[in-house]
Amino acid sequence: MTDPEQAARAEIRARLALSREELRAVFDPPGDQVGADGSSAAGGRPGGFPRSRTFQMLLSGRGIGTLGALAMGLIVARPALALRLLRMLPASAVARMLLVRALSTLRTKQ
């Protein structure tokens, strides 16, 4: 290999390393981002789930209540549509989530 080829390869490797670092910065934001209200950007945990404010709201206590009221309204208004939508849900995942939530509630009450 000649010297100009090695220099060109070294330059390409340097540009690739730089672009990899840029992609890491985009896809893995730092975990120490703190919002204006003092909470971190990811539900109280750096890099944790859920990151979006919409999911944080839906998974909070009030959000769960709102979703429950919406589901009950749908069941009362259009039971056939509600059953069709219920069949689309993965039953094992939903059951596991409800079981974990019930057990965590029981643990906190004791």
Interior angle at CA 26, CA 23 and CA 31, nearest 5: 125
The predicted structure's pLDDT at residue 96: 83
**Alpha helix stretches (DSSP H) within the chain:** 3-27, 53-58, 61-77, 79-88, 91-109
Q: Is the pLDDT of residue 41 over 50?
A: no
Contacts of 30 (CB under 8 A, 6+ apart): 46
Residue for token digits 């944790």? 48
Pick 50 or 101 by higher pLDDT. 101
Are 50 and 43 a contacting pair, CB within 8 Å?
yes
Domain assignment present for residue 57? The answer is yes
Residue 67 domain-assigned? yes
Phi, psi (rounded to 5 degrees) for 31: -80, -5
Considering its fold, how many domains does the chain have in total? 1
Average pLDDT, the chain: 79
* pLDDT surpasses 70 at 4: yes
Task: Report whether pLDDT(17) > 90.
Answer: yes
Does 13 map to a domain? Answer: yes
The answer to the question of residue 42 being in a domain is no
Q: Global pTM?
A: 0.38
Any domain includes 34: no
Residue range(s) defining the domain that contains residue 62? 3-28+52-109
Averaged pLDDT, 84-109: 83
pLDDT at position 73 is 92
| 35: in domain | no
Would residue 100 count as lying in a domain?
Answer: yes
Q: How confident is the model at residue 45 (pLDDT cuts 50, 70, 90)?
A: low
pLDDT tens digits for range 50-66: 778 887 877 787 888 88
Determine, yes or no, domain membership for 37. no
